[in-house]
Amino acid sequence: MSQKNIDKFKAEKKIQKKKNSSNKRLAQKIERTLIDKDEGKKASRKKFKELLEYTKVFRDPVHGDIWITELEKKIIDHPVFQRLRRIKQLGPTFLVFHGAIHTRFDHSLGTLFISQKIVDSIKKSSKNHKLLIGIFPEENFIIRIIALIHDMAHISWGHTIEDEGNLIQTQQWLNINRRKKILTQIFPIIAAFLKDNGLEKEEDEILDKIENTLIAEEVGENDKIIKKKDEEIIFKGINSLESPFIADIVGNTICADFLDYIARDCYFTGLKMVYDPRIFSYFARCIDNEGKSRVCILLERRSNKIRWDILNHCIDLLRMRYDLAQKVYHHRVKRNFSAVVIKMVYCAMKSNLITEDDLFQHGDDVIPYLILQRKNQIKPDDNKELELLRNASEKLAKDFINRNIYDIAYETLYIKSKQKKHLEKTYHNPENRYRIERILEELFQMKPGSIIIYASKKNTGKKALVKMCRWDDEGLPSILSLEEIAEVDNEFRTVKSQLTNLRYLYEDMWKFFVIIDRTTYAQYSDKEKLEKIIETICKRNITPAIDDIIDIIIHQDCVEADLTVAERDNICKLAKEKINADHYPSTEGNQNLLNPIGTIREIAKDYINNKNEAK
């Protein structure tokens, strides 16, 4: 951002602050009046306070004792929640870090525990400053439920096949069918519990807040439009919520979800990284410039007295998140097995061996065995493409179970690739990935499932949107994100440089690669030529590599043919003309186009047959 834009940003903020100062005072006054003096609320608050009493304890390896309420026990005991015990938090990471077998169940309890610590911190902050707001029993009740169930919409291999593989377009709580399946089982438990305790009047409001907050956490700060067939579905973001502070506590940047998974993932992968628990002393709730109640980190205890230790704690947490991503989530071997899982599930779903419902019902470990079982139960199909898909899923399931390694044949950083846009547009689509994989397997005469293209969505890490609270000249809280503070205030220029550096580091982890199963890969003596052809085809420039492709085909299929240089050139010319005219797959991925490798084989064989007949 240029100095001119920074000055403009500051001026706009100053004008906006003057406009909002009276509104903010009014909002603060209204908020505190509603909270402190509403007699009707006081009666229900007393009941909610009673419902927050603990009745059971879990012993957790990361946090120690985690206490839960009677309602939370009822939710946890339900089968739809118990299924989280069968879904690993880090997917296939356990094949690299053998201790990483913790589950979504563990993480859900941990998020519940951390959310209560944040609530307690907010309550304490509100007692120390009259313009900071506390958390009240009915809000605490909702926060704990959302924290507990926030991951219930996960399916087996969720992040792997949804975020990395892009196999399922509408994910987690945005998936209407999945959301309905879960909430129609959980909401009756909550409704019955409220009714039994004389709080049926609160039912609709509480259930709406729970559902809307779960969706908004998935969407992010701003509204999101998803196009589905001929309609557009608008999902409300955190900014559109009536009570956005609840989402801030459970699932924003530095939140209960983050503070649990970063501690838990480090513990179970054996990484000796911990964050300072003093971060729990800094949380507060106040009204932002739009008059909405938000949770923030207190950057100043008093006006113009910046707490640099607090700022450094936040930066350390963001750095810790990157270190975990670099060492674990993007570990070379872990990503290779993620690629295996993605293609295994894709082929199995496309060939009707498994469904999305299977991924919801069964745990991670069951899916590969389920694929093998159903493949053995199904008779061979006359549909050749269906059989290829089933054979590929069978091979990949066996490779995953036996931890058969795949080696990288081609790799490039997206950010440094001249074909960046092409790689993104083409290979984020699983149909296009599979088509090019089949072309490569056909070319090198490998079994279905031997070659895998990995092309995950761009990962730059979450933006530094953690809300920071400072006090303005009028003594009112002013909320800006860490990223905004770093942009507009020269005093924080070192923070800006650290955030920029983290963004670049994340970009350097964003890779496109092609892997081949190790046994098959080892059989090729000229790996350099093989890798060059893979690179050329993946960049969608098949024509420049056609001479090499013909060399391979002649070597594989026409070993005994004594071809002159002129004859090879004729085959090459015919193949180029045919491919450029009819056969090369378009960017949109027209599935009806013939395989260009098959075309080259036909031309080569026909040419040699004609030559033999002429003799």
Burial of 169 (0-12, 13-18, 19+ CB in 10 A): exposed
Q: For the chain, what percent of residues have pLDDT higher than 70?
A: 83
| 490 vs 529, higher pLDDT | 529
Comparison of pLDDT for 165 and 419, the residue scoring more: 165
Q: What share of the chain is helix, strand, coil (3-state, %, to 5)?
A: 65, 10, 25
β-pairing, 511-517 vs 451-455, is antiparallel
Distance CA 342, CA 331 (A): 16
Asked if 430 and 165 touch (Cβ cutoff 8 Å), the reply is: yes
pLDDT at 264 over 80: yes
Q: Which residue has the higher pLDDT, 555 or 316?
A: 316
Confidence at 215, pLDDT banded by 50, 70, 90: very high
Average of pLDDT values for 472-494? 78
- Averaged pLDDT, 97-106: 97
343-384 residue pLDDT tens: 999 999 999 999 999 999 999 999 999 999 999 998 887 888
Band (pLDDT 50/70/90 cuts) for residue 464 is low
Q: Which of 475, 477, 432, 472 is nearest to 455 (CA)?
A: 432
For residue range 570-592, list pLDDT tens digits in order: 777 777 777 665 544 444 443 33
Higher-pLDDT residue of 206, 587: 206
pLDDT at 50 over 70: yes
Q: Is the pLDDT of residue 111 over 50?
A: yes
How many other CB atoms are found less than 10 A from the CB of residue 390? Answer: 24
Helix or strand (DSSP H, E) at 410 = strand 406-413
Range of lowest pLDDT (53-67, 165-179, 458-472, 591-605)? 591-605
Residue that wins the pLDDT comparison between 329 and 443: 329
**Which one-letter DSSP state was computed for residue 191?**
H
For residues 293 and 248, is the Cβ–Cβ distance under 8 A?
Answer: no
This prediction has a pTM of 0.86
Type of residue at 103: T
Residues in the chain: 615
Instruction: Kindly state the average pLDDT of the residues 477-495.
Output: 79
Tens-place pLDDT, residues 10-48 = 545 554 554 455 555 545 544 554 455 455 677 789 999
Measured distance CA(443)–CA(600) in Å, rounded: 10
* Confidence bin at 148 (pLDDT 50/70/90): very high
* pLDDT score at 49: 94
Walk me through the domains of the chain, giving residue ranges and CATH numbers.
50-325 (1.10.3210.10), 331-459+510-535 (no CATH), 542-615 (no CATH)
Residue 510 confidence (pLDDT): 85
Average pLDDT, stretch 385-411? 95
pLDDT tens per residue across span 387-398: 999 999 999 999
Q: Is 203 helix (H, G, I), strand (E, B) or coil?
A: helix
- Are the C-beta atoms of 156 and 363 separated by less than 8 Å? yes
Calpha distance 430→435 (Å, rounded): 9
Q: What is the mean pLDDT of the chain?
A: 84
Long-range pairs, 193-201, Cβ under 8 A, ≥24: 193/51, 193/70, 193/71, 193/74, 197/47, 197/50, 197/51, 198/47, 199/44, 199/47, 199/48, 201/44
pLDDT of 457 higher than 70: yes
Q: For residue 459, what pLDDT band results from cuts at 50, 70 and 90?
A: low
